[in-house]
Amino acid sequence: MRHVIITGGSRGLGAGLVQDLLEAGYRVSTCSRQSTPFVERMSNDPRYGSRFRWMQCILGESGAAERFMESVVDAESELPYALVNNAGITGEGVLATFPNIDSARIIHINLIGALEMSRTVLRYMLRSKHGGRIVNISSIIGSRGYTGLAAYSASKAGMDGLTRALAREVGRRGITVNSVAPGYMATDMSSSLRPGQLEQIVRRTPLGRLAEVSDVASLVRFLLSDQAGCITGQTIMVDGGISC
């Protein structure tokens, strides 16, 4: 049974990825800053049993990724097949007045956290002779840029750069690395937008709707599959066409 690591799997898109991959038959280990009702529900759901594991972990803290992976591998007694770097935060404000400490926190969690987790998981993954998968959850904002989101945009652009460089590093070992870049989604992160803003986004989107968690989850599941074995180093947008 293939074992997938997902960061930030306690709510929103991360929770949707966890549930989708559990239903697809994967073993899933996830981490987040704190537990949530979703985590409690998954932990007690008899359909998943020991295939679901959660641990508290604050990515970007010194040694956090290593402690998480040591706990997971000790408990599961198997090497990870895939990593989904999903954990992330955002913050909005024009850069001239945006606090440096907030910018640093966004970069540290979104980008440095993904770098450290990838480095840690690869140390286990490279022991396997069966290849593996890394999927970075990026954003169209990383390539398009939006007013008031300079730090967030920089962190996601960095993830796409990580994807391309790492794909070259580990490709000969049968490990693929790709980014999935959602547009605005019907999740908690878009709930702070004013109704007028959401309506404008929907009007500008060729498909006339926001992306759903299931749209992203199905692409991630495909990238983890054997059918995607020749796709690597790519950033694939899931945005209803708004960035075209």
List, by residue number, the catalytic residues.
152
> What sign has the CA pseudo-torsion 144, 103, 116, 57?
negative
**DSSP letter assigned to residue 38:** H
Note whether 6 and 85 are within 8 A (CB).
no
Structure tokens at 228: 């995607």
Q: Residues near 69 by Cβ (< 8 Å), separated by ≥ 6?
A: 5, 80, 120, 121, 124
| Residues in the chain, total | 244
111 close to 127: Cβ distance less than 8 angstroms = no
